[in-house]
Structure 1
Amino acid sequence: MGGFGSGGHNLRKRYLEQFRSLNAAYFQKHRILTDGWRGMIHWKNNDEDKPSISVEGGRNQVTLAYRARKDNTGDWTNVRDTFPVVWSPRHLGGAQAYFRCLRCNARAKLLYLANLHFRCRKCHNLVHASSQEQPGNRATRKNQKLRAKLGAPQGLGDYVPRPKGMHETTFQRYIEQIEEAESEINDDMIRILQRIQKTDIRLSQKHRNFWK
């Protein structure tokens, strides 16, 4: 069984995307939340030794067993945790599964592996990487994603053709989202230019004061 070295812990900000996670919806979909279920879950890795965990599934609890080490250093530690599983009714029938975090006791759809243990996002103090982006960068990523979905050119302001078979109402909704993102990109560019101009003015003023 491949072990986990939890990298990125020394960074000032820790992002969700840096850590492996377990999704209660995935467990539910693949019937892992069935009494008596036993098996392995593997993560993709460039190394030959793929990280994996042993899972004992159940309707009301799930037990995880794996090896991990903190900050990619130190000795490997054998970890075994049992998480309660809670079920919440859905509006259209059935129920949605959630894990119960062992630290704060809150229900969580996702658990993240940091500091040797799987815990909820809040307990590990994790944030989305996108939350630290500048508005223009976030809008650019959104614009590119929408354009790629429509098969349109990636250039800012380039014409977006309606894909064959897409309903006009759906297409116009995408166009509105693209225009909104591009407007935010332009606004961010203006703010950047204004900051640069203010900096140039301050530097120019200091230069004149120096020669007085």
Structure 2
Amino acid sequence: MGGFGSGGHNLRKRYLEQFRSLNAAYFQKHSILTDGWRGMIHWKNDSQDKPCISVEGGRNQVTLIYRARQDNAADWKNVRDTFPIVWSPRHLGGAQAYFGCLRCNARAKLLYLANLHFRCRKCHNLVHASSQEQPGNRATRKNQKLRAKLGAPQGLGDYVPRPKGMHETTFQHYLERIEEAECEINDDMIRILQRIQKTSVRLSINQKDFW
């Protein structure tokens, strides 16, 4: 069984995108939350080593069995954790499954592997990478994502054609979100230019004082 401890799992910047995760909705969809279920879960990896864990499923709890090492340490440790499954009623019927975090007891849709164990995002103190982005970078990524959904050019301010079959109201909603993102990009560019201008003025004053 493949272990964990190499790759992007123990980098200093603790972005949740850098850690492997387990999704309770995936467990529910694939009938893992069934008493007596036994199997393996694999993660895609470009290397020959295919990280995986052994899972013992159940309606009210699941057990994870795997090997891991902390901060790329030489020694691997065997880990066995059993998580309670919390069921929450859905508005339209049925129920949604959540993991019960073993550290804080809160319900969590996703668990992340860090420091040897799967725990919720808050317990591992993980944040989305997008939360650390500059406003302009975040808006640029948003603009590109929206344009890609419409099959439109990626350039700032380029014409956005309405996809065939898309309702006009839906299309206008996309256009409004694209316009908001592009306005934020332009505002960020103006702020950058203003900072550059102020820096240039200060450098000019210092040079005059020096000579």
Q: 1:103 maps to which residue?
A: 103
TM-score (norm 1): 0.97
1:74 offset after TM fit, Å? 1.8
> What SS does structure 1 have at the residue aligned with 2:99?
strand
1:77 deviation in Å? 0.7
Counterpart amino acid of 2:56?
A: E
Compute the displacement of 1:210 (Å): 1.1
Q: What is the TM-score when the length of structure 2 is the normalising length?
A: 0.97
Render the CA deviation track for 1:144-202: whole Å, top value 9, x for unaligned. Answer: 01111111111000000111111111111100010010000000000000000011111
Aligned to 2:3: 3
Q: Deviation per CA, 1:9-39, whole angstroms, max 9, x where unpaired? A: 351x300000000000110111100000000
CA gap of 1:128–1:199, structure 2 versus 1, over 3 A, is same
Structure 2 match to 1:25: 25
SS of residue paired to 2:93: coil
Cα separation, 1, equivalents of 2:5 and 2:124: 16
Gaps of 5+ in 1: none
* Inter-partner Cα distance in structure 2 for 1:189 and 1:73: 44
Q: Distance in 1 between matches of 2:48 and 2:210?
A: 63
CA distance in 2, matches of 1:173, 1:193: 31
Shift of 1:47: 1.3
User: Partner letter of residue 9 of structure 1?
Assistant: N
What amino acid sits opposite 1:79 in the alignment? Answer: V
In the TM superposition, residue 73 of structure 1 has moved relative to its aligned partner by: 2.4
Aligned to 2:44: 44
Task: From the superposition, tell whether residues 57 and 179 of structure 1 become closer, same or farther in structure 2 (CA, over 3 Å).
Answer: same
2:9, 2:20 within 8 Å by CA — same for their partners in 1? no
Moved over 6 A (4+): none
Q: How far, CA to CA, are the matches of 2:150 and 2:97 in structure 1?
A: 34
CA RMSD of aligned residues (A): 0.9
Unaligned runs of 5+ in 2: none
**Aligned mates of 1:133, 1:143 — CA distance in 2:** 14
The 8 Å contact of residues 10 and 72 in structure 2, kept in 1 or not, is answered as no
